[in-house]
Structure 1
C-alpha cells in the first residue's frame, strides 16, 4: 500500500512569506470562507453556512476558472430558485404532483447538462438541484418558499462575491505569463511525441494524453479570456497552435505508416532532429527549417520519377509528403507563438465542437428522475423527519455526477469525503466548540480543518475528497448566531448525508448503469455517422473543428481507461486516429481546386454509405490513377494530381487502420446513424 504523501513546504519560500501555490490556495480559500461566514453572521442571515460553503464550491486555483464557475453558479442559482417558487405556486396544494414536477425538472436539467459544453454544464446542473434544495426545504411551509429562495440566493451570492474579491486581490495580475509557460510546455510535448511517432516508440496513453492536453489548452484560453480582454484578442493564436500541433501529430503518424518499418532516409532523420531540438526547448531557426524543406523537396522529386515502377518508392514519397507537412506545421506554430508573445491580435475565429451522446443524456435524465422518485417514496412511506434532506442529497448526487466519465468512482469519492467531514465535525462539536465564545475562537477551530481540505483539493488524486469534505464539514458544523449544533442533530445530519449519497451511488450501479463498452459502441457509431455526413456535406465542417471533435472523443475515451483493458485502449486509439485521418482527407478532397473528379467522387460516395472496405480499395486505385496523371511533371495541373493522389493514399491507409482496429460498425445497425453534432462552418 502506497503511503500518502503530505503537501511539501518550501522552507525558503515560507521564510520569505511566499508559500507554495497549494498552500497559498488553501490559505486564501479558507480566509475567504471565514470572511463570508463572518459577514453572513453579522447580517443575521437565515443559514450562514451557505456563504462559506459556496466559497469552497467555486474556488479554483486559476482565477479565470473561478470567474467562469461563479458566473454559471449565479445563473444556475437564480434559475433554480425561481423554478422552485414557480413549481410550489403551481403544485403546492398537491405534494405528489409537486414531487413529480421537481423530479422532472431535475431530470431535464441533468439530461441537458450532458449535451451542452463543459462551461454551461455546471450551470444547467445547478439550476436542477438548486430547485430541489429550495423546494425540499419548503415542503413543511410552502407559503415561505419565496423567502427561502431569496435567502439561499443571497447567501450564495455573498459567497461568490467574497471569493471573487479575495481571488482578485491575491491572484496574479495577468494570466498571459502563465499561458506562455503552458504553451511552451505544450509545444515541447507535441514535438517530443511526434519524434517518438517517427521512431515508432509512442504509446497509446501518450497520444491520448496529448489530445487531452490540446483541449486543456483551449479551455485555459477560454478561462483566461473570461478575466482578460488581452487574452480574448490573442486567444485565436493559441487555438490555432493547438490545431497545428494536432495536425503535425497526425502527419507524423502517417509518415511512420508510409515508412512501413523501413529505415528513414537522411531527409527524414533531419525532420526528426528538428522535432527533438524543439522538444528540448530550442526553437529551430528559419535557415534550418528551409534547409530541411529543400532536402525533402529534392528527395521527393527523385522518388516521384520511380513511383510508377516501384511500390516502395511510392510509400517513401508518401512519407516525405507528410514530413513536409510536419516541418510546415512546426514553422507555422513557431510563428504563431512569436506573434502571441509580441501581443499581435488574431482575427481567426474557431468553431469548437464537442462530442454529444444523446442516448447517454437520455439515460442520465431518466435516472435522475427515477432516483429522486424512489427517494421520495422512501421518505413518504418511512415517515422519517429528515427525509427531505435525504431526497435533496440523492438529487444532488445523481445530477452532479451523471456527466462524469465514471460516475460511480466519483460519487464514492464524494461519500468518503462526507465520512471524513462527519468525523471532523464530531471532533469540533463534542470537544472544541463548547469552549468557543466568539467568532475568533470559531475561526481558530474551523481553519485547520478547512486548510487541510484546501490542500487536498489541489491534488488530482484527492480533489473530490477535499471538495466534498470541506463543503460537508461546514454543513454539519452549521455555525449560527448564539447556538451550536448538538450531537443528536449531528448524528441525524450525518445519517441523512451518508444515506443520501449511498442511495445515489446505488442508483448509478443498479438503475440504468453507465456501461463503458456500450458507451464506446455508441461513440464508434457517432464517428461513422460523422464521416458519412462529411462525405455528403463537406462544406458544413471545418477541418480544425473536426480535429477538435475527435480530440474531445479521445478525451472521453481516456476517461474510461480504468474501466477497460489496455489492449482495448490501444485498439480504440488506432480506430480514432484512422477516423480522424479519413475525415481530414475527405475534407481535403472535397475542396481540391479543379477536383474532385469521378474517381474521387466515387470514394466519397462509398464513405457516405459506410462502405469502408470499398473506401480503402477504391482510394488506392484512384491514388495510383492520379499519380500516373501527375508523372514527374512539375506544372500546376500535375501538382494538383499528385496532391490528390497523396490524400487518397492516406485515406486508404486510414480506412485500413480503422478496419483492422475492429471499430467499424455496420451502417445497418439498429441505432440509426445520426451525426453527433450539427455540421456547420
Structure 2
C-alpha cells in the first residue's frame, strides 16, 4: 500500500485553498457583507425602539429583515417606501374594521377576509414594488386589528405604535444599506443593460449570417424552433430585469428620474427591434424554402449589407460605449441608403412573379424598420449611460419626489384565484377560532394573512409553502432556545444585540441563495415575530409554544388553500389565461384608442404574459410551449394590427377609397380568429390579408428615379406587415387547421 508523505497533504490543501479562495471570496464576499448589514440594521432598529420605549421592537426588526431581502441599496429603499405606504394603508383599514365591527367576530372576519383577498389579488395582478405594497397592506390590517378585537379602544394606540415601529425599521434598513459599504443598483443596471444590448446584437448577427438549407427552412415554417423561442424569451426576460433594476435606481439616485423618457424609448425600441427580428427570422425561413435563386441572392445582398454594420460582440464584457457610438452614424447612413438598394433589387427582379418580389420587399422592409428601431435603441442606450451629463430641467425637489409610474400587470384570472384562496384561508382559520375559542386564534389569523399575501407573489405556492413552513419551524425552535436558555443570561444590550444579529445573519445568509430564499426569509420573519422582543420582556413558555403552534397552523391553512383550490398551473387557469391573452387582439389591437402609448402598452402586456407563462411551474396538464406560441402569435398579430391602424391614420389621404373597407375586414378577421380559432376563420383571415395586400398601392417603386418619400416608406411597412401576417397564417404554427386551440 502506498502511503502519502506526511507533509504532502497539508501542502496540497494549502495550494487548493490558495487557488480556490479568490473564487470563493468573489462569490461569497457580497453575501457576507449583506448579512452583516442585515444584522446591524436589525440591532439598530431594536435598540432605537427600546430607547424610545415603544411597545414592540420586534415589529421594527421584522421590517428590517423583509426590506433587506435584496442586496442593492436602491431596491431596499424602494421596498421600504412601499412597505411604509402599505403599512399606513393596512393600519387605516384595520382602524376602519374595528370601528365598524367591534366585538362582532363574524362580520369582522368576513370583512377582514375580503380585504386580505383584495390585497392578495392586487399583489398577484400588479408587478414590481406595487405588489409588495399591497402585500403589506394586507397583513398590516391583521397585525393592527387582531390585538384590538377584544379591546377596541386600544386600536388607535396600536396603529400609532405599529406605524412608528415600521418607520424605524424601514429607516434603519435604508440608512445602513445606503451608508455602510453600499451596493448600488446603478452599476447592476448598466451592466444588465449592456448585456441585453450585446445579446440582441449577437442574435441579429446570427440571424443575418445564418443560411438555412431548404429542408430545414421548410421545417422552420411550421413553427418557431425551440432555439429561436428560447432566444426571444431570453431577450425579453433580460429587458424586463433591466426595467426592474431601473425602478430601484429611481429611489437610489434622483438623477435617474431625469432619464425617464430615455429609458422609456430604450425599452420601447428594444421590444420593437426584437419583434422585427422575429419577423426577419420568419421571412428568411420562407425565402430559403420558396424563393427563386435570384430572389435569394437579392435577399443575401441586403442582409450582408446589414451584417457588415454590426460589431462583433462575442468578447466580454460586451459592447463598449465607443463601439455603440460608432455604430450610430453607420445605422443612419444604412437606413438612408436602404430604400434605394431595395428598389434596385426589385428592379433587377422585375421579370419574376409578384410573390417573389414581395418576399424580397418584405425582407428589405424588415431590415429597414429594424435598423430604424435599432438606431433609436443605440441612441437611447448611449443617453442612458450619461445620467450625470443630463441637464436638470426640473427642480431638485421635483426630481426627488417624482416617482415613475409602472403599468405592468399580470393575469387577471390568476390574480382572482389568488385572492379567492386568501379569502378561503382567512375564513377557514377564523371559523375554527370562533368555533373552538382557541386563545391562539388571533396569531393564526396574522400568520395566514402574512402567508397568503406572500404566496400571491410567488410562481409556485406549494413549493414556497414548504419553505415558509420549514423556516417558521426552524425560527420557532431557535426562538425557544434563545428566549428561555440564552436570553435570561444576557445582562447587557451588547450581548443581546450580538446574539440576535448572529441568528438573523444565519437566516439572511440562507436568503441570499435563490433556491432557499423563501426558507431564509421565513426563518427571519417568524423568528423576529415569535421571539417578540418587547418592552418589557415577557417570559411565558406556554404562551410561546401556543404562538408557534398558531403560526404553523396559519401557514398550513394558507398552504392548503393555495395547493388545493384551483392549482395555479392547472388546466382551467391555463385556458382562462389563454382566453384573456387572445381577447387583447380585439380589445386593444383592433378597438384600442390610437395614441402613442397603445403599441408600447400592448407589447408590455404580452411581454409580461410570456414571462409569466415561461416562469410558471411545470404541469403535465398544460402544454407550456403551446401557450408561449399562442402568446407570441397574439403579440405578432396585435402589433401588426396596431401599426397598420397608425400607418393608415398617417397617410389616409394617399390611400385608395376602398382601403378602409379592406383594412376593417382584415382587422375583424384576425380578431375573430383569435376569439374562436377555427380552420374556417383562419382561411377567412388569410383571404382578408391577401385582399388587403392586393388593394394597397406599392411602397417602394422598383423603377422610381426619385428617392422614396415618407408616404412610400409607410406603405412599404404596411406591405411588410400584411406579408408577415400572410406568412404566419400560411405556416399555421398553432395547428388551427388540424385541431382547436387548447
* Fold in common (TM above 0.5): yes
**Which residue, out of 292, 299, 312, partners 1:277?**
312
Alignment of 1:629-640 (within 5 A): 631-634=701-704, 636=709, 639-640=713-714
CA distance in 2, matches of 1:645, 1:335: 28
1:120 alignment counterpart? 130
**CA contact under 8 A between 2:34 and 2:71: conserved in structure 1?**
yes
| Post-superposition CA distance 1:53-100 (Å, at most 9, x none) | 111111232222222222222222122222222222222132222222
Measured in 2, the distance between the counterparts of 1:152 and 1:485 equals 22
Which of 607, 610, 614 is the aligned partner of 1:551? 607
Q: 3-state DSSP class of the match of 2:465?
A: helix
Counterpart check, 1:449 vs 2:491: no
CA contact (8 A) 1:456 1:463 kept: yes
1:653 aligns with 2:695: no
Given the alignment of the two structures, is residue 23 of structure 1 paired with residue 32 of structure 2, yes or no?
yes
CA pair 355-149 structure 1, distance change in 2 beyond 3 A: closer
Q: How many residue pairs end up in the alignment?
A: 658
* Contact 1:76–1:125 under 8 Å retained in 2: yes
Report if the CA contact (8 A) 1:516-1:560 is conserved.
no
Q: Deviation at 1:601?
A: 3.0
- Does 2:199 correspond to 1:143? no
SS of the aligned residue for 1:539 comes to: coil
Shift of 1:145: 2.2
In the alignment, is the contact (CA less than 8 A) between 2:94 and 2:141 conserved in 1?
A: yes
Q: Distance in 1 between matches of 2:571 and 2:81?
A: 36
Q: 1:564 to 1:246 in 2, by over 3 A?
A: farther
1:109 to 119, 137, 143: 119
2:75 & 2:405 partners in 1: Cα distance? Answer: 21
1:223 is displaced (CA, Å) by 2.1
Unaligned runs of 5+ in 1: 1-7, 670-681
Maintained 8 Å contact 1:236/1:350: no
Which residue of 2 is the match for residue 423 of structure 1?
A: 477
Query: In the alignment, what sits opposite 1:459?
Result: 513
- 2:303 is the counterpart of 1:268: yes
Q: Give 1:502's aligned residue.
A: 556
Of 51-60 and 282-291, deviating more is: 282-291
Q: Name the stretch that deviates more: 623-632 or 234-243.
A: 623-632
How much has 1:152 moved relative to structure 2? Answer: 1.8
Indicate the residue corresponding to 2:638 in structure 1: 583
Q: 2:359 aligns with which of 315, 327, 345?
A: 315
Task: Trace 1:452-491 onto structure 2 (pairs within 5 A).
Answer: 452-480=506-534, 483=537, 485=539, 487-491=541-545
Q: 1:522: Cα distance to partner?
A: 2.4
Name the stretch that deviates more: 69-78 or 625-634: 625-634
Instruction: Name the counterpart of 2:669.
Output: 606
Distance 1:450 1:590 in 2: 57
- Shift, 1:407, TM fit: 2.4
Return closer, same or farther for 1:489/1:352 CA change in 2, 3 Å cut-off.
Answer: closer
Q: Distance in 2 between matches of 1:462 and 1:329?
A: 40
Q: In the TM superposition, what are the counterparts of 1:399-438 in structure 2 within 5 Å?
A: 399-429=453-483, 431-438=485-492
**Inter-partner Cα distance in structure 2 for 1:391 and 1:118:** 27
- TM-score, normalised via structure 2 length: 0.80
Q: 1:243 to 1:663 in 2, by over 3 A?
A: farther
Equivalence for 1:237: 262
Corresponding residue for residue 591 of structure 2: 536
Q: Distance in 2 between matches of 1:27 and 1:416?
A: 23
1:618 aligns with 2:672: no
TM-score of the superposition, structure 1-length normalised? 0.86
Aligned-partner Cα distance in 2 for 1:9–1:132? 52
1:407–1:116 Cα change, 3 Å: same
Instruction: Give the aligned partner of residue 32 of structure 1.
Output: 41
Question: How many angstroms apart in 2 are the aligned matches of 1:466 and 1:162?
Answer: 20
Quote the Cα distance in structure 1 between the aligned partners of 2:689 and 2:106. Answer: 62
From the superposition, tell whether residues 191 and 490 of structure 1 become closer, same or farther in structure 2 (CA, over 3 Å): farther
Max Rg structure: 2
- Among 442, 454, 471, the alignment partner of 1:388 is 442
Change in Cα spacing, 1:504 to 1:175, as seen in structure 2 (3 Å) is: closer
- 1:227 maps to 252
Q: Point out the more displaced range, 259-268 or 571-580.
A: 259-268
Residue aligning to 2:218: none
Name the structure 1 match of 2:233: 208
Greater displacement, 251-260 / 116-125: 116-125
Counterparts in 2 of 1:603 and 1:352: CA distance versus 1, 3 Å: farther
Q: 1:629 to 1:436 in 2, by over 3 A?
A: closer
Please, which of 45, 55, 76 is the counterpart of residue 46 of structure 1?
55
Q: Identify the residue that residue 69 of structure 1 maps to in structure 2.
A: 79
CA–CA distance in 2 between the matches of 1:496 and 1:9? 49
Structure 1 stretch displaced more, 384-393 or 475-484:
475-484
* 1:417-440 alpha-carbon deviations (Å, 9 max, x no partner): 212223332443455334322221
- Could you report, residue by residue, the CA deviation over 1:157-177 in whole angstroms, capped at 9, with x for unpaired residues? 211121122223136497544
In structure 2, the gaps of 5 or more residues are 1-17, 211-224, 289-295, 394-402, 674-680
Tell me: CA distance 1:68–1:666, structure 2 relative to 1, closer, same or farther (3 Å).
farther
Alignment partner of 1:155 is 2:210: no
Cα 1:315–1:14 shift into 2, 3 Å: closer
Distance in structure 1 (CA, Å) of the matches to 2:581 and 2:515:
32
Which secondary structure state, in structure 2, belongs to the residue aligned with residue 660 of structure 1?
Answer: coil
The Cα shift of 1:233 comes to 0.6
**Bigger Cα displacement from structure 2, 513-522 vs 26-35:** 513-522
Q: For 2:202 and 2:93, how far apart are their aligned partners in 1?
A: 52
Q: State the Cα distance separating 1:231 from its structure 2 match.
A: 0.5
CA 1:630–1:205 in structure 2 vs 1: closer, same or farther (change >3 Å)?
closer
Q: How far did 1:375 drift? A: 0.7
* Distance of aligned partners of 1:553 and 1:258 in 2 relative to their CA distance in 1, 3 Å threshold: same
* 1:502 CA displacement: 0.9
Cα separation, partners in 2 of 1:193 and 1:142, compared to 1, 3 Å: same
Cα displacement string for residues 603-661 of structure 1 (whole angstroms, at most 9, x for unaligned residues): 12323444454223321343245376865243546555433211211222344567626
Distance 1:321 1:151 in 2: 64
CA distance in 2, matches of 1:82, 1:9: 57
2:510·2:519 contact (CA, 8 Å) conserved in 1? Answer: yes
**Cα distance in 2 between the residues matched to 1:569 and 1:203:** 16
Structure 2 equivalent of residue 568 of structure 1: 623
- Equivalent runs, 1:295-374 vs 2, <5 Å: 297=339, 300-305=342-347, 306=349, 309=353, 311-342=355-386, 343-344=389-390, 353-374=407-428
Q: Distance in 1 between matches of 2:128 and 2:585?
A: 24
Q: Hey, what's the Cα distance between the residues in 2 that align with 1:269 and 1:413?
A: 53
